[in-house]
Amino acid sequence: MEYRIEHDSMGEVRVPVDALWGAQTQRSHENFVIGTERMPREIIRAFAVLKKAAALANADLGVLDQTTCKVVGQVADEILAGKLDDEFPLMVWQTGSGTQSNMNVNEVMANRANQILGQRRCHPNDTINRSQSSNDTFPTALHIAAVTAIERNLLPAIDLLVRTFRQLEQQNQGVVKCGRTHLQDAAPIGFWQEISGWRGLLEASRDQIRATLPFLSLLALGGTAVGTGLNAPKGFDEAAARHISELTGHEFQTDPNKFHALSGKDAITFSHGAIRTLAANLMKIANDVRWLASGPRCGLGEITIPANEPGSSIMPGKVNPTQCEAVTMVAVQVMGNDATIGFAASQGNFELNVFMPVIAYDFLQSVRLLSDVMRSFNEHCVSGIVANRGKMSQNLHESLMLVTCLNPYIGYEKAAKVAQKAYQDNTDLKHACVQLGFLTAEEFDKVFKPEEMV
């Protein structure tokens, strides 16, 4: 490989001749050979938006000329289009402020801008990073990426699954089945009602996640090194936030307290807490679905789900609830991410939190995985759920908890004796109730109507 010589404040560094990055990126590339997790592309694209907005704000305030502002915006657009993806090789496991990724973006944008201009006009620090610090750009990029991922991917995926459950509710109106609490038989429930519970879990999570967006919309940009705004012109923070809003189509504002914005990560922790709750709700839904589909002959077998793949390398004809398993694996990964984010957010020492790359990686992974798995679950499982009405009816009428409907007529204690006798004698509730002399057969038939108990 051929190299060129680049330099930074620490001296000269060999950089691959065709790379657009410079000395600081190369140092990080060599010093942090840790793992395989690269800085998320969502963060790089958020940085591109941020740098373009910063250039526009600097031009508005008269500290950057229009020609330079225009070419910075052009390079940012190339990054957003994915044309320069190979120029961002750095790992998550680097400096906790994300300084090297900020400089990676600065170096690539400066060198690409100079290519376009045909002259060395743009400097990574003095031009691309003007009025900024890594300490305010990385948290800003994190918030931009988080809001964008939630609004473009996560919320639409939730809505898709909600619509499918609503359709299933309509298809199963009037289908009554045995309810279950503590994994034991309980009073009857409409299958459409059970499905509405699943839908409600998703709708509640959606509303809770949306409620976190105003906190994520507050940006640290303008705080520079420690929150004081050193070397940023007056009004830069508000101008940059306005341009970021225009570029993304999402509403952002400058955080009125930059000291909080740089040192605290409560907004991202709060938001991920709601995302973790979505994961918990999806875990519950997926578990319900695979329990109800268990069998096909020796389980509950009350619903059928699509058979997508052979389920065993040794048992012919076996089919497993694989989409449910994918959902539950994603759920536990998100719960683990939440623990990491919470611990990382607690480590904001003095004026800066230095756990931001891992926070960014885990947050965006959670959003990406949940968005993908909900779409997969919807397409390959939920949309194909069919009620096994015969099995539901059989289980319903064999349930001893139907005795609950007798409470108003014979009282709780007598009804309990009916259920106990039916279980011990392996008979039905009617036979037990008549044998105990609590009701005649005709009286029992008059009040015992399971389908009306929902």
Pairing of strands 348-349, 184-190: unpaired
Position 233 scores a pLDDT of 98
Pick the closest to residue 407 from 385, 378, 379, 439 (CA basis): 439
Position 285 scores a pLDDT of 98
Residues contacting 385, CB < 8 A, separation 6+: 168, 289, 303, 304, 305
Active-site choice (28, 123, 312, 431): 312
> Looking at the whole model, is its pTM more than 0.85?
yes
DSSP characters over 107-145: HHHHHHHHHHHTS----IIIIITTT--HHHHHHHHHHHH
Reported as half-sphere exposure (CB side, CA atoms, 13 A), residue 401 has a value of 15
CA distances in angstroms from 8 to 15, 25, 114, 127, listed in the order given: 12, 10, 17, 15
Position 1 scores a pLDDT of 87
pLDDT tens string, the chain, 454 residues long: the values are 899 999 999 999 999 999 999 999 999 999 999 999 999 999 999 999 999 999 999 999 999 999 999 999 999 999 999 999 999 999 999 999 999 999 999 999 999 999 999 999 999 999 999 999 999 999 999 999 999 999 999 999 999 999 999 999 999 999 999 999 999 999 999 999 999 999 999 999 999 999 999 999 999 999 999 999 999 999 999 999 999 999 999 999 999 999 999 999 999 999 999 999 999 999 999 999 999 999 999 999 999 999 999 999 999 999 999 999 999 999 999 999 999 999 999 999 999 999 999 999 999 999 999 999 999 999 999 999 999 999 999 999 999 999 999 999 999 999 999 999 999 999 999 999 999 999 999 999 999 999 999 9
CA distances in angstroms from 52 to 76, 112, 129, 299, listed in the order given: 6, 14, 11, 58
Whole-angstrom distance, CA of residue 134 vs CA of residue 138 = 6
Catalytic, 29? Answer no
Catalytic, 312? Answer yes
Active-site choice (101, 182, 383, 431): 182
With vertex at residue 254, the alpha carbon angle to CA 207 and CA 358, rounded to the nearest 5 degrees, is: 65
